[in-house]
Amino acid sequence: MSNFAHRRRDLLRSAGVWVGAAAVFAGTRSAGAWQIEEIAPESSLGLAYARRCGSAASDHAALVAQLKGQLALDPAKSSLAMKCPLCGCSVIVSR
């Protein structure tokens, strides 16, 4: 076998090892984009999110009442969410 063939084989082997190691490393980290963080409503961040809509609070209360009614009818669900049609906020109701 020629020297070129040996170098090519070594290059392909090392590339395979690097790709395999990168795949193992990437698989051990959690995907931060898929994590959901709960925010306490009484915390400063929770209050800031609650106040960001301003005058839409009464509309949000109506959405919450509607979602609570839907949640009461379906015991299999633990939470429901809907976007506010006025401001685009996510309104979430949990059991």
Tell me the domain boundaries of the chain: 1-30, 56-95
DSSP 53: T
Question: How large is the average pLDDT for residues 32-54?
Answer: 77
pLDDT (tens digit per residue) in 57-93: 677 888 899 999 998 998 888 898 988 877 777 888 9
Q: What is the pTM of this model?
A: 0.43
Statement: residue 50 has pLDDT above 80: no
For 60-76, b/e burial (b = at least 16 CB within 10 A) is beebeeebeeebeeeee
Instruction: Kindly give the residue spans of alpha helices, DSSP state H, lying in 1-95.
Output: 3-28, 44-51, 57-73
Q: Which two tokens stand for residue 48?
A: 């800031």
